[in-house]
Amino acid sequence: MDKIIVEGGKSLKGKVKIGGAKNAALPILVSSLLAEGQNTYHNVPQLRDIESIRHLLSDLGAKVEKDGHTTRIDAGGLCKSEAPYDLVRKMRASVLVLGPLVARLKRARVSLPGGCAIGARPINLHLKGLSQLGASVKLNHGYVEASADRLKGCDIYFDIPTVTGTENLMMAAALAEGVTTLRNAAREPEIVALADVLNKMGADVQDAGSSVITIRGVSYLKPAEVSIIPDRIEAGTFMVAAVLTRGDITILNCEPSHMGGIINKLKLVGADITVGDNSIRVIGENGIESVDVKTLPYPGFPTDMQAQFMVLMSVAKGLSIISETIFENRFIHVGELKRMGADITVSGNSAIVKGVPMLSGAPVMATDLRASASLILAGLVARGATEIHRVYHLDRGYESIEKKFARLGAAIKRVRE
Ligand code: EPU
């Protein structure tokens, strides 16, 4: 297993190119199941989670080819309707195949994902929606078994806006008979990206990006060629690094219109931010002010940036309250940051962060992707060396993160343990 070693104290300067968004690529690759013929996807990030979904799709009988950042998938030969425990266990976004399999093959057997490091993460809303669409949905031996001759459009209200739940049902409804309305739907840019792809395939999805999405079902979808949108969380992680290290980083190939929540908070922290068409320059020379943050569904501040922001607040002037409202257990980085000298007290779903003048390097590890990214950030400003273990969490969601940081001037390397 690899570990990453960071020597803190360098001010990061230069340009960094952002890759395709993991959380857009996952449902978009899965949407290939809805059509026969070859789909082509460009700007697909090279990540462990993407590898897992390709593996699952090929296990289901799709022909999957990878060529650098391009992936081609032809689900003409789709024959299996089961997503086994071993694949779903590795990556819970595998449940995204549920809706498309029922829509295309009339049945699906998908392992129920368990809880994970950041919370219980049930999929009850995916299942309720699917049964409202007319599927028979049963739980058997740890598997969801769903079947329907043809799904029928209906009105679905989500109790909570769920990102993958909205995606799952949007894909199922695309091939249903009649009109489906998804209310209190998630509004993330990744939802809009999936809707755009479905429409390119011949679906009729309206108003994705708002909380009411209307889908007029069609009987047939055709393959498409598309490019994956930029990863707003990767971009946000480098933006935080610029402020944290008093650096000057220009983030290239990003989509600033997706990043309002992050840009707004970093300006309040004191960053000097210039927004271009597809770029954002962040200068962090002004010191770091304390700012409170509450994670919220898009367009609020993303939970996937909470851990990174906490590192920034750990070395800010004063006190900050960080409230996590999306996942009930997303403070696993706190214990590790405290070992590096951060002054953080957790009370319920809030963390009270008292800025300290300096963090100190330590061996650390985390069991979640974004928590692991936050430990790299902490290492960048800590005195001495920080060793980040269990790097495979990072490889799930950040492509060559250590190489990108090294090019910006960080003293960082990956070594085999
Ligand atoms: N929820 C339910 N029932 C459901 C579905 C969700 O109670 O049936 C709850 C969840 O437990 C949570 C809230 O609703 O409290 C929102 O969860 P959501 O379903 O939106 O999360 P997700 O779709 O499982 C996606 C991202 C996550 C990201 C969240 C929130 C993908 C593949 N994953 O997860 O990304 O944190 O939305 O924005 O899109 C990451 O990339 O590190 C990551 C965890």
**What is the bridge-based pairing of β-strands 179-183 and 155-157?**
parallel
Q: How far apart are CA 116 and CA 128, in angstroms?
A: 21
* 154 catalytic per annotation: no
Distances, alpha carbon 143 to alpha carbons 17, 86, 320, in Å: 40, 12, 43
Q: How far apart are CA 342 and CA 354, in angstroms?
A: 8
Q: 324 and 245 in one domain?
A: yes
Q: 261 and 128 in one domain?
A: no
Q: How far apart are CA 226 and CA 385, in angstroms?
A: 42
Q: Whose CA is nearest to atom 37 of ligand 1?
A: 163
* Pair 135, 111: CB distance under 8 Å: no
End-to-end CA gap in the chain: 6
Dist. CA 104 → ligand 1 center (Å)? 25
Q: 241 and 100 in one domain?
A: no
Q: 77 and 65 in one domain?
A: yes
* Nearest one of 413, 405, 308 to 15, comparing CA atoms: 405
Out of 227, 254, 276, a domain closes at 227
pLDDT at res. 285: 87
| Strands across the sheet containing 155-157 | 155-157, 179-183, 212-216, 204-206
H/E stretch holding 268: helix 260-269
pLDDT at res. 27: 98
Q: 192 and 271 in one domain?
A: no
Residue type, 313: M
- Ligand 1 neighbourhood includes 30 CB (under 6 angstroms): no
Q: How far apart are CA 148 and CA 134, in angstroms?
A: 7
> What CATH code is carried by the domain that includes residue 180?
3.65.10.10
- Ligand 1 neighbourhood includes 119 CB (under 6 angstroms): yes
Centroid of chain to Cα 33:
21
CA torsion angle for 38, 44, 47, 51 (degrees, to 10)?
Answer: 0
Q: What Rg value do the Cα atoms of the chain yield, rounded?
A: 21
Pocket perturbation via mutation, ligand 1, pick of 26, 137, 158, 163 by most ligand atoms within 8 A of CB: 163
Q: Whose CA is nearest to atom 28 of ligand 1?
A: 304
- Ligand 1 neighbourhood includes 415 CB (under 6 angstroms): no
pLDDT at res. 217: 98
* Nearest one of 339, 344, 349 to 313, comparing CA atoms: 344
Q: 266 and 411 in one domain?
A: yes
- Ligand 1 neighbourhood includes 127 CB (under 6 angstroms): no
pLDDT at res. 367: 82
pLDDT at res. 354: 98
Q: 295 and 391 in one domain?
A: yes
Q: 45 and 31 in one domain?
A: yes
Residue whose entry in the numeric block shows the structure tokens 């979640």:
368
Q: Which domain holds residue 194?
A: 22-227
CA torsion angle for 200, 202, 208, 213 (degrees, to 10)?
Answer: 180
The model's pLDDT over 394-416, given as tens digits with 9 standing for 90+, comes to: 999 999 999 999 999 999 999 98
Here the tokens at position 398 are: 């950040």
Dist. CA 255 → ligand 1 center (Å)? 22
Q: 320 and 276 in one domain?
A: yes
Strand boundaries in 84-211, DSSP class E: 107-111, 136-140, 143-147, 155-157, 179-183, 204-206
pTM value is 0.98
pLDDT at res. 58: 96
Out of 179, 203, 227, a domain closes at 227
Q: 87 and 134 in one domain?
A: yes
Out of 198, 227, 256, a domain closes at 227
Residues 88-93: contacts with CB under 8 Å, at least 24 apart: 88/112, 88/113, 89/113, 89/114, 90/52, 91/49, 91/52, 91/53, 91/396, 92/116, 92/121, 93/23, 93/26, 93/27, 93/49, 93/53, 93/164
- Ligand 1 neighbourhood includes 126 CB (under 6 angstroms): yes
Q: 286 and 209 in one domain?
A: no
pLDDT at res. 382: 98
Query: Is residue 178 left, alpha or beta, with left meaning phi > 0 and alpha meaning psi from -120 to 50?
Result: left
Return the SS3 of 393.
helix
Number of folded domains that form the chain? 2
- Ligand 1 neighbourhood includes 125 CB (under 6 angstroms): yes
Return the SS3 of 252.
strand
Listed as ranges, residues in the chain with pLDDT below 70 are 115
Q: 385 and 260 in one domain?
A: yes
